[in-house]
Amino acid sequence: MTQKKDPVRSQQITLDNHQLTLYFCDIPPDTNQQNEFIQANSHFLSPHLASAAPKRQAEFIAGRLASGKALEALGLRNQIVPSNADRSPQWPENVVGAISHKVNLATAAVSRQFDMLGLDLETTFTDATIQRISRKIINENEQRVLLASPLPYSFAFTQVFSAKETLYKAIYPFVRKYLGFDTSEVVDISENFVVLMLRKDVAKKTPCEALFKIHTIETEGHILTLTAQSSQR
């Protein structure tokens, strides 16, 4: 009998001398494959997505498969991460984590070592998309930082968008409310990181200071941003 292949794979990375493992799961690209994937893993699906399109259901399940494998590495076996009332992931006690998905890939990471953890997965935005959403994402000062960077503008803009999403996920358990992209501002950017300054009134609600270094990794055709922070207070 052929052994069923594990759909989740891992990649270990180093963040400021700390090891963290990312878990990835492919999202089936077409409806027939998505339906098979959903049927095989229906126990991972949240009730609020019972009537959602197959693509959305498959995205959710892939994220839960990745997060379940991440929790297993912490010794927490057979864990299905439920959703809070606000649809955010409900992590086990003393565990922080984050899930993201884009196109045909989902990723997750968890930790007991850090107090805040966020990640986001994107594909590089087109020029048309950047033109359409730019004013909602960055201000004039941030645009000058991006233009002064040697990075291709489309890459830098996508990186900043993703970094702000990552920071939002990291701070959400402490603020528990929607925050706009103007909540943080780009201070510095390179190929490997974005430095964001969190608005002070928001930062004081978190266990960390206002300055956040958001790491950038290019993986499997995606831009992945990630931050993991320990308490600084």
One domain, residues 131 and 154 = yes
- Number of folded domains that form the chain: 2
pLDDT of residue 109: 98
CA 40: distance to chain centroid?
A: 25
Which whole number is the average pLDDT over 139-158?
98
- pLDDT for residue 196: 98
> Is residue 35, in this structure, part of any structural domain at all?
yes
Report if residue 20 sits inside a domain. Answer: yes
Contact 62, 27 (CB under 8 A): yes
Q: What is the mean pLDDT of residues 103-116?
A: 96
> Which of 113, 148, 176 is the last residue before a domain boundary?
113
To the nearest whole number, what is the mean pLDDT of the chain? 94
Domain boundary among 70, 90, 113: 113
**Residue 52 resides in a domain:** yes
What is the domain-level CATH number for residue 53? 3.90.470.20
The tens digit of pLDDT for each residue in 35-68 reads 999 999 999 999 999 999 999 999 999 999 999 9
- In this predicted structure, what is the pLDDT of residue 4? 63
**pLDDT at position 213:** 96
Same domain, 91 and 188: no
Same domain, 90 and 130: no
* Structural domain boundaries, residue 215: 124-229
What is the rounded CA–CA span in Å between residue 138 and residue 121? 19
| Residues 139 and 224 both lie in one domain | yes
Average pLDDT over residues 181-199: 97
Domain assignment present for residue 3? The answer is no
Is the pLDDT at 15 greater than 90? The verdict is: no
Whether residue 128 sits in one domain with residue 54: no
Q: Are 137 and 211 within one domain?
A: yes
Is there a single domain that holds both residue 183 and residue 136?
yes
- Same-domain status, 90 and 176: no
Binding residue numbers for CoA? 56, 64, 100-101, 120, 165, 169, 179
Asked if residue 130 and residue 89 are part of one domain, the reply reads: no
Give a yes or no: residue 93 inside a domain.
yes
- Domain assignment of residue 34, yes or no: yes
Residue 105 lies in a domain: yes
Query: CA-to-CA distance for 82 and 8, rounded, in angstroms?
Result: 19
3-state secondary structure of 78: coil
For the stretch 113-142, pLDDT in tens is 999 999 999 999 999 999 999 999 999 999
> Over pLDDT 70: what percentage of the chain?
98
Residues annotated within the binding site for Mg(2+) are 120, 122
Q: Domain check: are 145 and 96 in the same one?
A: no
**Percentage of the chain exceeding pLDDT 90:** 91
Average pLDDT over residues 140-164: 98
pTM: 0.94
pLDDT of residue 95 exceeding 60 = yes
pLDDT of residue 38: 96
Residues 134 and 52 in one domain: no
Give a yes or no: residue 1 inside a domain: no
One-letter identity of residue 181: F
Whose structure tokens read 């864990």?
79
Q: State whether 100 and 144 are in the same domain.
A: no
CA distances from 67 to 24, 121, 124, 177, 210 (A): 9, 15, 24, 23, 28
Q: Tokens 């490997």 appear where?
A: 192
pLDDT at 180 over 90: yes
State the pLDDT at residue 1: 46
pLDDT at 2: 47
The domain boundary residue, chosen from 113, 147, 162: 113
pLDDT band, very low/low/confident/very high, at 73 (cuts 50, 70, 90): very high
pLDDT average, residue stretch 161-177? 97
The binding site consists of 56, 64, 100-101, 120, 122, 165, 169, 179
Tell me which H or E stretch contains 111.
strand 105-111
